[in-house]
Structure 1
Amino acid sequence: MRALVGLWRWRHNPLRRRTDLVEAWVACAAVLLIAAAAPLAGLAIGGASRDTLQQSVREQHEVRHEVIGTVVKKVSGPPIDPDPETSSARDRHSRVLAEWTAPDGTAHSGTVFASLRSPDPGDRFRLWTDERGQVVGRPLDDATASTHAALAGIGAAVAVAGLVEGARRLVVWRIVLRRYDRWDQAWDKAGPDWGRTGTGS
């Protein structure tokens, strides 16, 4: 809006320089590009990310299976984890020796994290495995995939807006430098005694 006001202000102003008009047009073009290109880029990147992530959701749900594990015993003394984020997330889980049956029917056992606060032998819990019974992470769900896609779209829109604004500032900076060069040239032509011209001194 400010760019349009600037264009209108410079329309018939006798003090208008050519660079003023160029600067106003550059600002107007930047506003239009931000208003049009940024949302389009956000929609395109968000849509492409959503398609890719939904494909990942489908693939993960095909190869990862939820099975029921049975606690054999609780394992005390979890290993020290230097990452405070993962260790705090694991505080809600217990480390147990468990048994489970893989989707292919084979029996497995091992030390895993169970979503039980105080597990006792025989307690049952859910865990995710691949088709051979190896423990894997929980597959990505639709809501998380949609959130990541939306964030990617917003990030792309902000990046485009930032690039356009950066280009506008670069052009204005070049215009100002040229303006200063012209002022210096005009000052050099006027000479050092321009204020005393015609006074006979």
Structure 2
Amino acid sequence: MRAAIGLWRWRHNPLRRTTDLIEAWVALTAAVLLCVVVPLAGWAAGVSANTSLQQAVRIQQQERAPTVARVVRAADGAGGERAAELAGEQRLRPAVVADWTAPDGSRRSGTVTTTRDQARPGDVFPLWTDRSGRAVSPPMHPDTARAHALIAGLTVALLLAFMVETARRTVVHRLMRRRYARLDRAWAQAGPDWGRTGKGS
């Protein structure tokens, strides 16, 4: 609103400089972008991210099945590729050797992480598997997907707002430098006797 008022004020002002008019238009454009374009872009990004994530949730729910695993013993230190996959999770959850039933009814065994703080032989815990019976992480919850989409939309909006404000400040800074340069040239043209010309001094 202040940008529009400033633009109207400079419209017929005899003291108006070209840089003043440019600055007012830049401020008005930035205000429109921040109030209209930035929220729309954030909303569009959030909707797009939510659509993609909800589709991923549906695919995960179709391809993953819940089962119950029974602890056989504590893991002695899984080796190879599985150790690398479990390295981060083991810091928070214990790794155990467990048995479970695959979706096709076959028995499977392997090293997995549990949701329990302590796992003793014979304890059971929920486990998710893919169609082949391999242990996988649980499917993403739809609410989690929506939260990620909201964060994505807010991030896009904030980045765009930052870019708009940075561009506005850059233009205003250059306009100020141009004004100061013109003022310096005007003072240089006036000379050291400015204000005393024609007084015989």
- Fold similarity call, TM over 0.5: yes
**Local SS of the residue matching 1:59:** helix
For residues 3 and 86 of structure 1, the distance between their equivalents in structure 2, rounded to whole angstroms, comes to: 53
Residue of structure 2 equivalent to 1:124: 124
**Pairs within 5 Å for 1:1-201:** 1-75=1-75, 90=92, 93-201=93-201
Indicate the RMSD between aligned Cα atoms, in angstroms: 2.6
Which residue identity does 2:145 align to in structure 1?
A: A
Q: Which amino acid aligns with 1:117?
A: D
Cα distance, 1:13 vs. partner?
4.3
Q: 2:32 & 2:116 partners in 1: Cα distance?
A: 56
TM-score, structure 1 as length reference: 0.85
CA distance in 1, matches of 2:121, 2:5: 75
Aligned-residue offset at 1:122: 2.0
- TM-score, with length taken from structure 2: 0.85
| Partner-residue secondary structure (3-state), 2:136 | coil
Measured against aligned partners, the alpha-carbon deviations of 1:96-139 in whole angstroms (never above 9, x if no partner) come to 22101111222211221122233332221111111112111121
**Aligned-partner SS, 2:135:** coil
- Structure 2 gap ranges (5+): none
Please say which of residues 148-157 and 112-121 is displaced more in the overlay. 112-121
Q: Does the CA contact (< 8 Å) of 2:54 and 2:142 recur in 1?
A: yes
Q: What is the rounded CA distance, in whole Å, between the counterparts of 1:3 and 1:185 in structure 2?
A: 29
- Deviation track 1:30-86 (CA, whole Å, cap 9, x = no partner) reads 1111100011101111111011111111111121221110111234679999xxx85
Distance of aligned partners of 1:125 and 1:184 in 2 relative to their CA distance in 1, 3 Å threshold? same
In 1, distance between residues paired with 2:89 and 2:31? 44
> What letter corresponds to residue 179 of structure 2 in structure 1?
R
Q: Conserved in 1, the CA contact under 8 Å of 2:90 and 2:113?
A: no
Give distance in 2, aligned partners of 1:39 and 1:12: 33
Q: Distance in 2 between matches of 1:191 and 1:114?
A: 85
* Greater displacement, 34-43 / 14-23: 14-23
Measured at CA, do residues 64 and 47 of structure 1 come closer, stay the same or move farther in structure 2, by a change above 3 Å?
same
What amino acid does structure 2 have at the position aligned with 1:48?
S
- Distance across 1 between alignment mates of 2:121 and 2:90: 24
Shift of 1:5: 3.8
Alpha-carbon distance between aligned partners in 2 of 1:154 and 1:95, rounded to the nearest angstrom: 37
